[in-house]
Structure 1
Amino acid sequence: MTTQGRADQGPELVEGPESSSAVEPGSYDKLVAEVTEWVVGPGEEWADRIEATGEVPEELWTELRERGYLSMAAPRRLGGRGLSFEQWLGLMEIFSRSHASVRMIVHVVNGTWRAMDPFATEAQVDEFVRPSVAGHKKVAFALTEPGNGTGADITCSVERDGDTYYLSGEKHLITFGVRCDYWLLAARLAGSTGHQGTVALMVPRDVTGATVLDTSQTMGVTGTDHAHMIFDRAPVPVANRLGAEGDGLAVALGGFLLPSRVSVAMSCVGLAQRAQELAYEYATQRVTFSQPLTSRQAIQFLLAENEADIEAAKQLILHAAREWEAGSPRAQQLSSMAKMTAVSMLGRVTDNALQIHGGLGYWKTSTIERVYRDARAQRFEEGTNEIQKMVVFRELQKSKGS
């Protein structure tokens, strides 16, 4: 997983929905209640601890794993809970009201299986996919590079010698790239161009020839680690390749990118709801000239705009999710529409929420300060708004026969 935008330039990507299985409504309602209770209770305690220390402790990963929160979205055959995509989004919305690093862990682990599973052999499913779904092995998505974009122009390369690839090049902005067990890494065969020469490799974190630099000092999403990796002929078994030679970008972008964009969009809704909640609570308690701020029409209008903004984005996201599950040809365009709409909404809502708090909101003692910082990161995940607009326009051209 990276926090830099990814352009799906190159091969025409075929993205299909997973099984439409779902958890029975009564059981799902109990799960929603359980997650909500955790987010407002232990989740807030973790948030305070992370902000105070600047680190996400391993104990948090353990707690999330033991509660089953890292295996919710995957199908039962992989050890997951078998939620439908729309059900998963409902939980993503709740988790996103918590600390951004909590949301990041849950989002990433519940999503990387989508990239691996369609291309994995049965042996690879047992070695990589199921342990990842169970939360026993951490897999970091490694696509972004420092010297180019994030698509068919990747330059990290491999040379094959018998049953071994020798990996050279750099990756950066790799979320969980420091603490992971494997990098799910896209590279290309040395001398190749375009998507035809790309490969996807499960690279062990402790591979020789790899230098890992911790670049975790970010504006928000405190505690989530990010890595810059440099490879100098690092040996990777050919058996660790997912799919065939030429499938690298299909693995990295194919069945993973679209639902992940929708999931990130829903995380914007959850964080915006948290900002709105904080703003409303503050406005009802803050008294000026003997009246609460909620008596001021200017504040009423800001809160009303926020409420409408959040609901509009949420409904577009749910529409995109349903279209993807149904295998609609519009799913790709709708996923980008949802992501760019949700990100813009989140910016407006958190800005309004901070404004309602006045000067006090600028202090780190106010929760809205953290929410405001964390919201800015959403603009980069799974593609910037500029990338989303490119995708939407490209699909528009197709629909017009241009």
Structure 2
Amino acid sequence: MSLDGRGSALPEAEYEQLKSDVDAWVRGPGEAWAERIEASGEVPEELWTELKEHGFLSLAAPVELGGRGLSFVQWMGLMEIFSRSHASVRMIVHVVNGTWRAMNPFANEAQRDRFIKPSVAGDIKVAFTLTEPGNGTGADITSTVRREGDTYYLTGRKHLITFGVRCDYWLLFARLEGSTGKHGTVALLVDRHAPGATVIDTSETMGVRGTDHAELVFADTPVPVANRLGEEGEGLAVALGGFLTPSRISVAMSCVGLAERAQELAVEYALRRVTFGKQLAERQAIAFQIAENEADIEAAKALVLHAAEQWQEGRETASALSSMAKMTAVDMLTRVTDKALQVHGGLGYWKTQTIERVYRDARAQRFEEGTNEIQKTVVARDVFRRAAVKESK
């Protein structure tokens, strides 16, 4: 079995048909769902069911886990299309099609049958649970567990946890009581309804309306040792190892898809809107903004696909490239959505316009899988490391 989903691909004709099917859903039912979500502020369970029934939650995983068996580059092509839809749709397919990557390399067969295959199938929801309110998202985590026989007892806090309210399990990262650094960390699948767990709904966000987020408080919450992925000391390896790089590339591609949607809306409006007897598209100031957007999108997309290819091939360069792709795509999305909104003039400020939603949603990717400041740190460290290696030769 391919543990990380790099080693398979759909035949080209089958893949092109799948892309066409996804695009048709995004432009049809997806738009209807977008209007419903924006009106209610909630993602109904029926949407999850519809995505499951279309097979959209199990696209990226290997066939052996119940997935469609796309290559990673193929999956990025679909991520690009899904990201033109409502941000909550994008968030669901991104998370469900990615969480298995963290779990699978460290799972035993019983855990694959109990957690991973049902997650890929869309039968259970698993929420990635790393971030804490009082520190960062790495070796400085402070949530702790103490072990008594076959049970861990969990104490601590987590926040900004996507799908943390409606999930079935939290894929949660903590440290052994009294330990420091990454070597004391553990990865646990914690039952959403375990005693001693308090869930605070924090879903009121600027954009990505309808996606639930949670703050979590644990007080001696029991977790079976059988729910631990990997060994004690491998918690951060589960959280960051084979998961973070492809997830950053996926978020970067979501920036490309959303930017393409913003550009599409701007072009449509520029062709439709007439001032003083001329289309906006005929005015050089508008045309130049559209041209800049198009070049910006294509440049970012090329880098994202390069990073995706490098990761798919198992290249050492993939990690730094994923950070380059994400920081480049995030900045591109900011520029493109700002110009697209400007093309709409004052009308773009109204919630009746799709561009208003796209503009709000575009802010979310700036902190997903690490801010640009984090990405720059990763890239700079890689640049200096390579320079030092070269100098030592």
Bucket of the pairwise TM-score, normalised by the shorter protein: over 0.9
Q: Within 2, Cα distance between the matches of 1:164 and 1:353?
A: 54
Aligned partners of 1:201 and 1:242 also within 8 Å: yes
Q: CA deviation at 1:17?
A: 5.6
**1:97-108 maps to which residues of 2 (within 5 A)?**
97-108=84-95
Q: Which residue of 1 aligns with 2:82?
A: 95
1:284 to 232, 247, 271: 271
Q: CA deviation at 1:327?
A: 1.3
**1:377-392 maps to which residues of 2 (within 5 A)?**
377-392=364-379
Instruction: Provide the aligned length of Structure 1 versus Structure 2.
Output: 387
Corresponding position: 1:300 with 2:287: yes
AA aligned opposite 2:29: P
Under a length normalisation based on structure 1, what TM-score does the superposition of the two structures give? 0.96
Aligned partners of 1:272 and 1:349 also within 8 Å: yes
AA aligned opposite 1:223: G
Q: Which residue of 2 aligns with 1:313?
A: 300
Q: Within 2, Cα distance between the matches of 1:241 and 1:170?
A: 19
Name the SS of the counterpart of 1:206 in structure 2: coil
2:189 to 198, 202, 220: 202
AA aligned opposite 2:103: M
Corresponding position: 1:75 with 2:66: no
CA RMSD of aligned residues (A): 0.8
**1:3-402 maps to which residues of 2 (within 5 A)?**
18-401=5-388
Q: Which has the higher contact order (CA 8 A, sep 6+)?
A: 1
Aligned partners of 2:5 and 2:69 also within 8 Å: no
Q: CA deviation at 1:20?
A: 2.0
Q: Within 2, Cα distance between the matches of 1:330 and 1:104?
A: 27
Q: Within 2, Cα distance between the matches of 1:39 and 1:249?
A: 35
Name the SS of the counterpart of 2:157 in structure 1: strand
Instruction: Give unpaired runs (5+ residues) of structure 2.
Output: none
Give identity over the alignment, percent. Answer: 73
Aligned partners of 1:17 and 1:327 also within 8 Å: no
Aligned partners of 1:17 and 1:326 also within 8 Å: no
AA aligned opposite 1:87: Q
Aligned partners of 2:4 and 2:101 also within 8 Å: no
AA aligned opposite 1:96: S
AA aligned opposite 2:201: D
Instruction: Give unpaired runs (5+ residues) of structure 1.
Output: 1-15
Name the SS of the counterpart of 1:184 in structure 2: strand
Name the SS of the counterpart of 1:300 in structure 2: helix
Q: Within 1, Cα distance between the matches of 2:345 and 2:145?
A: 54
Q: Within 2, Cα distance between the matches of 1:68 and 1:326?
A: 26
Q: Within 1, Cα distance between the matches of 2:85 and 2:78?
A: 12
